[in-house]
Structure 1
Amino acid sequence: MHSLFLGLAAALAWGIHDLCVRVVSQRTGILPAMLVVFATGAILVAATALALGNWQAITYTAAWLAGLSGGIFALASYALYRAFALGPVKLVAPLVSAYPVLSLGMAMLQGQPVGPGHWLAVAAVVGGVGCIAVFAKDGGSSPVSLQAAVWGLAGAIGFALTFAIGQSATQAGAELPVLIVTRVTAVLILLGLALLARAARLPSREVLPLLVLMGALDAVALGLVIYSGTLPRPEFASVSASLFGLVTVILAWLILRESMNRTQWISVAITFGGIAYLGF
């Protein structure tokens, strides 16, 4: 149950973060924006990890897995930014939120008991979020883009791998050192990509405060999900964190005025039902 609540808190943070992604991706370059977001998150995590982290407990295996998780997280986040830059929230958010199917599949391969009820709950979560997009009205949003869909699915696969590998890293070593290794690796990979693309520049001042906020939200959310690796059934945190897509769609309805009809609200209830089942 604790893993479930950590995932729900992460979903709220990521939902707000992704709404901001939709805004900043229209105003500045993707790689410069991501560098500020990831650097902010790394600084916040480093301050906590250096003060409270049990660095003696980290092992070579944990450090290697944390670095791999950070690299995949950087690429998955890039896919997320690209998807939101190309397509509307109601298309991209449900696609990215489809990663719980992969998360539970990997948990099953690792020997965790995953029953039919769990798969039905995941189907409710993913299907409920997906129905929000299927039953969306056509007006008032940017055109559906196949390219955005491909980037969204790439992000979903990347996030599933990030969470599974990151949780394995915490099981092999202390969670705070794992988080800082994950963050530093992600920043270095993004910096390398920015240098190759000649995009290593500071974004405009008008979006900097928003990017710093996004970095804080992202650091908190990823920290909660990876920390759940020290708790029973950590895959539940990954599944419940998938509600970030639902949070993003609802915030887009409230703030960006994307339409939500009655069928979509029913889908919201189905999604929450699936999450509630996973808590028992």
Structure 2
Amino acid sequence: MELSVVIFGLISAAFWGAGDFSGGVATKKHEVLSVATIAQIIGLLILSLVALTLGENTPSIENIMWGAAAGISGGIGILALYHALSIEKMGVVAPVTAVSSALVPVVFGMMSEGIPASIQILGFFFALIGVWLISREDSDSAIHLSRLKLPLIAGFGFGFFMILIDQLNGTGILWPLVGARVASISMFLLAGVYKGGMQMPEMKHLPLIILAGICDSGGNVFYTLAAQAGRIDIAAVLSSLYPAATVLLAWIFLRERLTYRQWIGIISAMLAVVLIS
């Protein structure tokens, strides 16, 4: 059972990392709210289609409510993350977001499920250090508090999404995630009305936004599977290794050079996986 948590958690990290890469690139070219809304709509369509194809049973009202609450929390996280990525360097945004999003469910998991094994706690330590090192892009070690606000909001939004989606009862996960998308999209549309409308992105950039929506939905599905298969803190820490995928994609497609510190972070993350599993 623990192996399932590790596998699903790592797949979730890969999807979320690819989604952040796609969404981050898209938000440097277009309005954050429009990118987030389109990506969430794509996710809604995909999740609904898969749920119908697989014939997943209609969820209880309770599960729909948990999914909606998770969607609002995750939606706040996405808006904060995309906005932060559009105005800040990844080296500031990614580590704060990833570490804070992992710490929230880790604390919750320890309070609700007890303290995990010592070797797994050591794995948590290496995972968080790995996330921080992987996400650092430059040698500037100075952190300004004003630059932490959006990444922290994003991290707490994702962290509470992880906790709320873990409250689902039963085996069905797709329809509650559809409920999460409906809630986040509704929130985004209301925000668009409040600010006077949204600007549609250019057609040539839509594939990137669609990819972000697909990857974000995939990450949500596999995180939910991981959380249901075992401890929420293990699932959260492994899923929070997503900056590794983002950095590697930037290295491959944007020709961004990996620093020695990022390579050490990747090694630390791999060691964490071994310890946690």
TM-score (normalised: structure 1) = 0.89
3-state secondary structure, aligned to 1:208: helix
Q: 1:37: how far off?
A: 0.3
Corresponding residue for residue 87 of structure 2: 86
Corresponding residue for residue 149 of structure 1: 148
Does residue 61 of structure 1 match 2:62? yes
Aligned mates of 1:163, 1:53 — CA distance in 2: 25
Among 19, 22, 34, which residue is 2:21 paired with?
A: 19
Aligned mates of 1:228, 1:53 — CA distance in 2: 21
Contact kept in structure 1, 2:131 and 2:240, CA below 8 Å: no
TM-score (normalised: structure 2) = 0.90
Q: 1:40: how far off?
A: 0.3
- The correspondence of residues 111-150 of structure 1 with structure 2, limited to 5 A, is 111-133=113-135, 136-137=138-139, 146-150=145-149
Corresponding residue for residue 266 of structure 1: 264
Q: 1:218 and 1:195, CA in 2 relative to 1: closer, same or farther beyond 3 A?
A: same
Contact kept in structure 1, 2:135 and 2:247, CA below 8 Å: no
Contact kept in structure 2, 1:121 and 1:277, CA below 8 Å: yes
Does residue 184 of structure 1 match 2:182? yes
Aligned mates of 2:36, 2:165 — CA distance in 1: 20
Q: 1:215 and 1:132, CA in 2 relative to 1: closer, same or farther beyond 3 A?
A: closer
Q: 1:144: how far off?
A: 7.4
Corresponding residue for residue 244 of structure 1: 242
Contact kept in structure 1, 2:22 and 2:211, CA below 8 Å: no
The aligned amino acid for 1:251 is L
Among 208, 211, 221, which residue is 2:209 paired with?
A: 211
Corresponding residue for residue 71 of structure 1: 72
Q: 1:255: how far off?
A: 3.1
Of all paired residues, the percent bearing the same amino acid is: 22
Q: 1:23: how far off?
A: 1.3
Aligned mates of 1:147, 1:21 — CA distance in 2: 23
* Aligned-residue CA RMSD (Å): 2.2
Contact kept in structure 1, 2:90 and 2:137, CA below 8 Å: no
Corresponding residue for residue 226 of structure 2: 228
Over residues 94-119 of structure 1, what are the superposed CA-to-partner deviations in whole Å (9 max), with x where a residue is unaligned?
22210222222111222244244333
The aligned amino acid for 2:37 is L
Aligned mates of 1:122, 1:102 — CA distance in 2: 13
Corresponding residue for residue 194 of structure 1: 192
Aligned mates of 1:164, 1:189 — CA distance in 2: 20
* Number of equivalent positions: 273
Q: Which moved more, 1:19-28 or 1:257-266?
A: 257-266
Q: 1:108 and 1:172, CA in 2 relative to 1: closer, same or farther beyond 3 A?
A: farther
Aligned mates of 1:234, 1:67 — CA distance in 2: 19
Does residue 52 of structure 1 match 2:50? no
Aligned mates of 2:63, 2:171 — CA distance in 1: 5
Contact kept in structure 2, 1:84 and 1:148, CA below 8 Å: no
Aligned mates of 1:120, 1:43 — CA distance in 2: 40
Q: 1:77: how far off?
A: 0.5
Q: 1:265: how far off?
A: 1.2
Q: 1:23 and 1:148, CA in 2 relative to 1: closer, same or farther beyond 3 A?
A: farther
Q: 1:205: how far off?
A: 1.2
Contact kept in structure 2, 1:7 and 1:224, CA below 8 Å: yes
Contact kept in structure 2, 1:86 and 1:145, CA below 8 Å: no
Aligned mates of 1:202, 1:144 — CA distance in 2: 34
Q: Which moved more, 1:32-41 or 1:44-53?
A: 44-53
Q: 1:227: how far off?
A: 2.6
Aligned mates of 2:147, 2:201 — CA distance in 1: 23
Q: 1:270 and 1:46, CA in 2 relative to 1: closer, same or farther beyond 3 A?
A: same
Q: 1:134 and 1:89, CA in 2 relative to 1: closer, same or farther beyond 3 A?
A: closer
Q: 1:237: how far off?
A: 2.3
Q: 1:144 and 1:85, CA in 2 relative to 1: closer, same or farther beyond 3 A?
A: farther
Contact kept in structure 2, 1:103 and 1:164, CA below 8 Å: yes
Q: 1:173 and 1:129, CA in 2 relative to 1: closer, same or farther beyond 3 A?
A: closer
Corresponding residue for residue 166 of structure 1: 165
Unaligned runs of 5+ in 2: none
Contact kept in structure 2, 1:83 and 1:149, CA below 8 Å: no
